[in-house]
Structure 1
Amino acid sequence: MFALNKPNPIIACVEDDADIQMLLSVYISNAMGVYPVFLKDSTEAFDFLGITESKAAENADLIIMDYQIPGINGINAIKKIRESGSYTDTPIIMITASDDQKILEQAFEAGANDFIAKPIRKTELIARIKSQLRLGFEMDLRKEREKKLLELSGKLEEANKKLKEIAFLDGLTGIPNRRHFDIAFRSMGKQTIRNQTNLSIIMIDIDHFKLYNDTYGHLQGDECLKKVGMILKSNLLRPTDFVARYGGEEFIAALPETDLHGAEEVAKRIQAAFETERIPHDKGIGGIVTVSMGIASTDGSDGKVFIVEYADEALYTAKLSGRNTYRFWRLDN
């Protein structure tokens, strides 16, 4: 049984395909012990969520939205849900069979927190749902604590400002979250293309983190994630460099005006920092926590910035190469 701060999270699935409904129901109920609520189109979804005149009996803790649904498409449905004001921070995962980069960008711009590609794989689905629920509940708890403190002090204006900041921070590590990264990276990409300057990405993954959680427990795993976030943040070279938690045990760093050589120097600093910190990991490489990294870079000359995907490919190569290392993405990969 899946246990979070809320015993029985409400998962609303906006999906009209009966086969996918059955798949989602079986995967989620078997893995988490809860049954999702299925809504076949945007009208049913808006009614259930209380966005229209009808009022929902309960608020959803997580929304799974198919890109292709009757009525308005999934992206426009997400926009309307976010604009309602009642679901500003509710995690939304989009399901899509398309690998079109523009669709994924539009989904994140509309307010999606994550996406799942078809065909749906159980392990990926459950991992992403659990991750988003955990992050959502962490944010809810943190906001509640902030609210009580600020009610005592009477600083309501300051409270609103802090809550907006929280929406762009990872609730566990305190560094920027994926939504914040996506917004910042789009801005960096436009500037790179406009000015023809270098931009590098380092995709970072904690080696054997599942074994770490299995060995030490999830509470200690959370502490490990916090330490990793601080190590990465403290080893960037310049104020303009940007690191975020990308999801689960993955982190990502954006290095504007930095070529592959400069990005490699940052990767070496990060490796050295983990060697120095020596966070214990009995099942890890050399008995400590290590990371694998994928590096990609662009000079903006081709008018395209797809280096996040390229860095992810390089990270995969680093893992295949034995982990605790970094690899570059190159055109001839």
Structure 2
Amino acid sequence: MKLLTFAHGGETRLGYLREDGSVLDVTASWAICQHGLAGRKAPANVLEAIELGEGLEAALTMIAEAARGQGPGLARMDALTVLAPIPRPRKNIFCVGRNYREHIIEGNLARGRKADDFPKALELFTKAPTTVNGHGAAVSRRADLTGMLDYEVELAIVIGREGRDIAVEQAFDHVFGYTIVNDITARDLQVRHGQWFKGKSLDGTCPIGPVVALRSAIPDPNALEIQLSVNGELRQSSNTSDMLFSVAQIISEVSAGMTLEPGDIIATGTPSGVGLAFNPPRSLNVGDVISARIEHIGELTTTIS
């Protein structure tokens, strides 16, 4: 099951992506729900869907069956204005740095380090909520601020259940689903400021989506093909099995002493092939079209303007 948030008539709506590629307007269809959640307000985005808690998946299945072939608001996804699943997160997006073995090696070599100098612990940073952008949206090149704008395709975890000090064995109980993040980065700002926050937090530089695939749709998040292309040229191609720290380990470590809440987003790192690692480095430029793909989730497209 895959959910998305889209714009309609100046409002946001929750969509359910069906197997035939059509999108059911869940917000408009909520009245036909005969499930136990029927008395609740219709969710208008993925965050509101998460907050409905237990029974959501059963309710959505019932709505989809009742609306089969004639549901209100059926449309193709490419005909919709697709927003980020959670258009304005309540807190910063958690991000894991240097988590794919091959990416760590390429970064080490570019910086004159030993190739096998792997992190001993999770490296964490965040991106501001104002970085969030949707599928098909444009990201400003901001040549006045940065000479090196880069891409990073990442699997992102969407938290569905609050928790703190979560054990690795219970980590997946706290997952709502998974989505795609393109962690667009101003590399020179990242270096200049020492801490990564500024180089990672220019407005609009965190495209997310296009959907959230519910946890039940992805039995093993550490066995997914992950790719990114720029103008049709494949730049990144790997598998989430190359992660140094697994999805469950990441959730456990991030939650140690720090509460994770429903709707929190954790980007899990990027594979090798980033623009900075090329010789010479390859920056994103105006007009570039970036396609980030993850198996069983979909494809997130971004244009540089």
TM-score grouping bracket, smaller chain normalisation: under 0.3
Q: Say which one has the larger Rg.
A: 1
- Indicate the structure with greater strand content: 2
- Indicate the structure with greater helix content: 1
When normalised by structure 2's length, the TM-score is 0.25
